[in-house]
Amino acid sequence: MSAVVAETLFEGPIAEEYELLRLICPAAADMSRRVGEWVSAWTPPNPGTLDVLEIGCGTGITSLHLLNGRADLRLTGIDNAPAMLAQARRNLAPALAEGRLRLIEADALSHLRGLPSASVDLVASGYALHNFLDSYRDRVLAEIHRVLKPGGAFVNGDRYALDDTREHLRSTQDEVRVYFRTFLELNRPDLLEQWVVHLFSDESPDHIMRLAPALERMEETGFRPVTVHFRDGVNALVSGAKP
Ligand SMILES: C[S@@+](CC[C@H](N)C(=O)[O-])C[C@H]1O[C@@H](n2cnc3c(N)ncnc32)[C@H](O)[C@@H]1O
């Protein structure tokens, strides 16, 4: 098994003040809500407690929607950024105290590799996979498929780049304009720099997650059906079932 080193993209001001994302990407909060709604409406193949693993739980925005969406859900959230997890521990303190939630500082792929096959009902994620290197994302997808029980599902609300490259460029240019307007108004050139650098990483050829190839890759991995439930610009809610 080859060693794959994941990047840590969320440290410093971008992590400490992650809640400012709502100003530059209001669609992300809406997508977190959609992930929670999708999971609360999902019919699990087996009765009993629903074991959910969240990849890249960050500060807990999507986690909270998952936990509030259904009482039978037990969540394990993993993230490799200590500054993000520290906020999740505060934001999700009641669920931690109730024992409905575990938060683990771990690399997504390493954690998945340590899980038994067919041991998780559902894997959920919000805006984490688009941060991954292509090769790393492929391995994570394969591991998600392996750890899911038959009849389980993977649901991902994420940034899926537009397949039309010119259209995508225009959309990204619009995003950069919003970054500049927002952070210069707040007099926060440090955050502007970090978010622009972050965007360059997401948009680079070995990271960018375009919708059509991403759906194909999920099917190649064995998910069936693969469904796009919602799409607005680069924001899409995608699920894949494990037959
Ligand atoms: C854009 S944030 C999204 C956070 C959260 N899911 C939400 O909906 O607000 C992406 C998160 O994924 C985490 N992440 C990125 N790469 C990771 C990896 N290889 N392993 C674990 N977590 C990772 C980051 O630390 C960050 O907290």
Report pLDDT digits (tens) over 50-88.
999 999 999 999 999 999 999 999 999 999 999 999 999
Q: What average pLDDT does the segment 123-128 reach?
A: 98
Q: How confident is the model at residue 7 (pLDDT cuts 50, 70, 90)?
A: low
13-241, superfamily in CATH? Answer: Vaccinia Virus protein VP39 (3.40.50.150)
Is the model's pLDDT at 198 over the cut of 60? yes
Q: How confident is the model at residue 6 (pLDDT cuts 50, 70, 90)?
A: low
Q: Which atom of ligand 1 has the smallest separation from the CA of 125?
A: 6
Contacts by residues 199-205 (CB-CB < 8 Å, ≥ 24 positions apart): 199/172, 199/175, 201/7, 201/9, 201/131, 202/130, 202/131, 202/159, 203/161, 203/172
Verify whether ligand 1 is closer than 6 Å to residue 21 (CB atom).
Answer: no
Domain residue spans of the chain: 13-241
What pLDDT is stored for residue 13 in this prediction?
A: 87
Q: How far apart are the C-alpha atoms of 119 and 140, rounded to whole Å? A: 16
Q: Which atom of ligand 1 has the smallest separation from the CA of 108?
A: 20
For residue 58, the CA-to-ligand 1 centroid distance in Å is 5
Mutate to test the pocket of ligand 1, among 84, 159, 207 (most ligand atoms within 8 A of CB): 84
Is the model's pLDDT at 1 over the cut of 50? no
Verify whether ligand 1 is closer than 6 Å to residue 129 (CB atom).
Answer: no
